[in-house]
Amino acid sequence: MKKGSVFTGMEIPLFLPKLIIITLTVIVVILGLSIFYFKELDLSDVEGGALSRRFFYSEDCMAYSDGERVYPGIIDLQKFNQERLKRCYENYEEGYGFNFILKNSQETNIREIKATNIPIELCDVESKNFGCFREKQYILYYENGKINGGTVLSTVILYGN
């Protein structure tokens, strides 16, 4: 018997645990990647959230401006109307619906504006034809020279998602 064959025979039991650990690691990595690869992603919350933020932070939408600067997050009550909403989302007319309800700090409705012909209540029904994004945000609004606190209930309907 050769001297090298005994040495090789002794190394195999030492290498076996390392081989098992490497094999298990590769299997776990492949299974982990396949879960993400085959998972169906629902981006309606991300898209709805981005469209909703436009309402609060863009001067073209509802953000208060004193002529020199825009105050993102503060809603100008004079801008909170149907015409301004349509102008704000004129590039998103097809495939989207919007509903915003402004409430004061006592939770009393001040105004509601919407640009959709689908009843908002349908967002409570699970559907594959459209997705809904709903969010309640605490905001400030400018009215008659005063800044007041309140909330806005935002609903963005995404058709075909």
In tens, the pLDDT along 79-108 reads: 888 888 888 887 766 778 888 999 988 888
What are the two backbone dihedrals, phi and then psi, of residue 72, each rounded to the nearest 5 degrees? -65, 140
Q: Which residues contact 64 (CB under 8 A, 6 or more apart)?
A: 70, 71, 74, 75, 76, 79, 141, 142
> Is it the case that residue 5 has pLDDT exceeding 60?
no
Please state the pTM of the whole predicted model.
0.68
Strands (E), the chain: 63-65, 70-76, 96-104, 109-115, 130-143, 146-159
Separation of alpha carbons 37 and 33, rounded Å = 6
Can you list the pairs that 48-53 forms with residues at least 24 positions away whose Cβ atoms lie under 8 Å?
48/131, 48/132, 48/133, 48/156, 48/158, 49/133, 49/135, 51/89, 51/92, 51/96, 51/98, 51/133, 51/156, 52/133, 52/135, 52/154, 52/156
- Predicted confidence (pLDDT) per residue in 14-34, tens digit: 777 888 999 999 999 998 888
Virtual torsion, Cα 112, 159, 92, 135, nearest 10 deg: 40
Average pLDDT over residues 61-68: 87
Q: How confident is the model at residue 157 (pLDDT cuts 50, 70, 90)?
A: confident
Q: Is the pLDDT of residue 74 over 60?
A: yes
Average pLDDT for residues 121-127, to the nearest whole number?
74
- The pair of three-digit structure tokens given for residue 32, joined into one six-digit string: 């982990």
More confident residue, 153 or 161: 153
Cβ–Cβ under 8 Å, residues 97 and 115: yes
SS3 of residue 67 by DSSP: coil
Q: Give the pLDDT score at 23.
A: 94
Give φ, ψ of 108 to 5 degrees. -95, 135
Tell me the pLDDT band of 7, cut-offs 50, 70 and 90.
low
